[in-house]
Amino acid sequence: MPDLRPLARGAAGLALALAVLAAISALAHLPVGAASPDGALRLSLRTARARVEICRERSAGELAALPAHMRQARTCEETAVDYRLEVAVDGRPRVDRRIVHRGLRRTRPLVVEELVLVAPGERRVEVRFLPVDPPPGAGELPRPAFAGTLRFDAGRVRVMALADDAASLRIVDPG
């Protein structure tokens, strides 16, 4: 008579694996918590347009001090400008913080991921994204803003992002 113990161990192992898989599947479908009684505004902003190039003309003395192969009459430096994010809901300030460039040389784009809880209903929302201390000669920098009335439902999130021109903010969810 053949030894059936290895086959029985394999079947038991398969049954155990299927039971564990079924248990994980059942747990994955359980609700994690109660739905939020509030709505939310998610600000998802990303821009590289906060980097500006400042150019100036070199003096004759500066040009003479440079090696011949480096004598360019005009010199330009790129600099990063930080921004301030301000959010008000129904006239009350909710967010006011400085958004700074990341990276060793501050070369990373500005990135904002902010979630603001808002009571359900029609709410007056004002959002401003303003440059902080732009250097002289920076020219006109984008100042995206949004002011309007939005409807917030309990447990739902409204998403705001930069418009394609990076000069304004827009709601990107269907509402």
**Is 70 part of a structural domain of the chain?**
no
Containing H/E element for 95? strand 92-99
pLDDT tens by residue, 97-118: 999 888 777 778 888 999 999 9
Q: Which pLDDT score, from 0 to 100, does residue 13 have? A: 93
Radius of gyration of the chain measured on its C-alpha atoms:
28
Residues 101 and 146 in one domain: yes
- Dihedral Cα 87, 91, 93, 99, nearest 10 deg: 20
- Cβ atoms 100, 82 nearer than 8 A: yes
Q: Is residue 90 scored above 80 in pLDDT?
A: yes
**Which amino acid, residue 60?**
A
Residues 117 and 89 in one domain: yes
pLDDT band at 162 (very low <50, low <70, confident <90, very high): confident
**Is 62 part of a structural domain of the chain?**
no
Q: Is residue 74 scored above 80 in pLDDT?
A: yes
Residues 104 and 140 in one domain: yes
Q: Which pLDDT score, from 0 to 100, does residue 174 have? A: 66
Residues 44 and 5 in one domain: no
Q: Is residue 67 scored above 80 in pLDDT?
A: yes
**Is 59 part of a structural domain of the chain?**
no
Residues 98 and 118 in one domain: yes
**Is 68 part of a structural domain of the chain?**
no
Residues 8 and 47 in one domain: no
pLDDT band at 48 (very low <50, low <70, confident <90, very high): low
Residues 47 and 19 in one domain: no
- Cβ atoms 135, 126 nearer than 8 A: no
C-alpha span between 171 and 163 (Å, rounded): 9
Top pLDDT among 126 and 73 is at 126
Q: Is residue 50 scored above 70 in pLDDT?
A: no
Residues 43 and 111 in one domain: yes
Distance from the first to the final alpha carbon of the chain: 71
**Is 93 part of a structural domain of the chain?**
yes
Domain count, the chain: 2
Of 49-58, 67-76, 83-92, 126-135, minimum mean pLDDT range: 49-58
Top pLDDT among 94 and 140 is at 94
pLDDT band at 122 (very low <50, low <70, confident <90, very high): very high
Residues 125 and 90 in one domain: yes
The domain of 11 spans 1-30
